[in-house]
Each structure stands twice: as C-alpha cells, then as structure tokens.
Amino acid sequence: MLSVAIAIPTYNEANNVETLLVRIAKECAEEGDVAVTIAVLDDSSPDGTAQLVRDLAGRLETDTFRIRVIVKADKAGLGAAYVNGFRILVNEGFDYIMQMDADLSHDPAYLKQFFEQARKGMDLIVASRYIPGGGSPDWSLYRRFLSAGGNIYSRLMLGNKLTDYTGGYNMYSRAVLKSARPETITATGYGFVIELKHRALLASSASAEVPIIFLDRTQGTSKMPAGTLLKNFALVFRLRFASVN
C-alpha cells in the first residue's frame, strides 16, 4: 500500500475547501492501493476554514482516506506553512508528500497520474502547464507570456529537466523531500516553490512531469504579492550560482 500525504496550505479558503476535499476523496476512492492523508496547513484563517475542515473530516474518512488540520498561530505565508507541514509529515514516514493549492486551480482528477508515476518508482513528479496536454486557458496572453518566459528562464539557468518550475502541484518521495531540506530555504511565497523544486531535482534519481490544465480560482482573491516576478528572477539567478550545501 502506497502512503501519500497531500499538504494543502489555506488562508480564508472556506468557500473552496469543502468542494476540493470532496473531489479529492472521490478520486482517491478509486485508488485501491493508495492510502491518502490530507494535511490542511491553515494559517489561522479568520473565516473558519480550519473548523470547516474538521467538520468534514469525519464525514469523508475511510480506511484509506483521512483528513487532518495543522494550524499555525500566525499568518506566516506559503513557505512557512509548507516548512511546518513538511517537517511533521516527513517525520511520520509517508512514502510520498504532495503540494496542492486550495483554490481549485489544481484539479484532483490529475491525482491518478501522480499515483501512476509513483508506482513506476519516480521520486519527483511535477505537474506542468508546458508539455503537451497542459495549459492555462483562463489566463490573458500577457500573463501567459510572463509565466512561460519565467519558466524558460528558469530552465536555462537551472537545468532543462523540468518545464514548469513555478507551479505548485508537485509530488516528492520522502527521501527526496528530506534531502531537499525545505526548512533551510530562505525564499518566501512562490520563490519557495521554485527553490524547493530545484533542490528536489538535484536530489532526484528519477523524475517525471504530468500535463495539467491550470484554472484560475473562482472564489476569493489571488494571494500573489506585487513584485513576485522580479524577486523570482533574482532568486533563480542566485540559485544558478550558489551551492545548495
């Protein structure tokens, strides 16, 4: 039985989280050889996200599917939420640990592709919008240009094994995630995802990408701060010329 933890950071996602968890539970019910634990990493959302998840947990739990909530006392951002959650999940010995957004932009229907690659022994599995079958149809041409350009730049600087460095729908073996040492990453926000993926690729012996169609959130507002693009360009440059050690 493959054991997988799916880490989902949340802040004020009460409008999305029930729909997301119900859909994940449905997809996982079709995977007879995978035991899934959802770890909702909540930054003390004032809209009651954490309590809503707790209420759902009992209703959705099965022998191979469960939900837990890990709450931080303060809103520390995406990177800090992942560091806290990863530390707990790595120590609990799951075979694989995933990243997934709470805003419904990451379709749970793709989980079966991740699990299929894990069964093949892949230790790093990345969802990509930039391979055949992938895309981001909701985006404007300008946003697509910025994202594609940023990923081309990242590939040229960091290596061409990955086509999507900025996406947040990823799966790591426990060994790869532990080797990547996320607790030592200083980048914040989406830069954290780029640096973690770069480190994971260096530690990986067998990686794969799966195509996804990325959809914009329909409820709530984007949490990407201004200046993220410039910060990430500078981060990639630093990673290219700095040692991970």
Name residues whose C-beta falls within 8 Å of residue 79's C-beta, 6 or more positions apart in sequence.
185, 187, 188, 189, 191, 192
Calculate the average pLDDT of the chain: 88
Longest dimension (CA), the chain: 49
Cα(37)–Cα(95) distance, rounded to whole angstroms?
11
- Domain ranges in the chain are 2-241
The model's confidence at residue 218, banded by pLDDT at 50, 70 and 90, is low
The pLDDT tens digits for 40-73 are 999 989 999 999 999 999 999 999 999 999 998 7
Sign of the C-alpha dihedral computed for residues 106, 109, 113 and 119 taken in this order: positive
* pTM metric for this prediction: 0.89
Return the pLDDT at 139.
77
- Pull the structure tokens for residue 2: 């493959």
Kindly report the backbone phi and psi dihedral angles of residue 208, in degrees, each rounded to the nearest multiple of 5, phi listed first.
-150, 155
Q: Quickly state the pLDDT bin for 229 (edges 50, 70, 90).
A: low
What is the structure's pLDDT at 61? 94
Give the integer Cα–Cα distance in Å for 171 and 111.
Answer: 10
Using the predicted structure, report yes or no on whether residue 222 has a pLDDT greater than 90: no
The CATH architecture annotation of domain 2-241 reads: Alpha-Beta Complex (3.90)
Q: Which pLDDT tens digit goes with each residue over 97-152?
A: 999 999 999 999 999 999 999 999 999 999 999 999 988 887 788 887 887 778 88
Rg (CA), the chain: 17
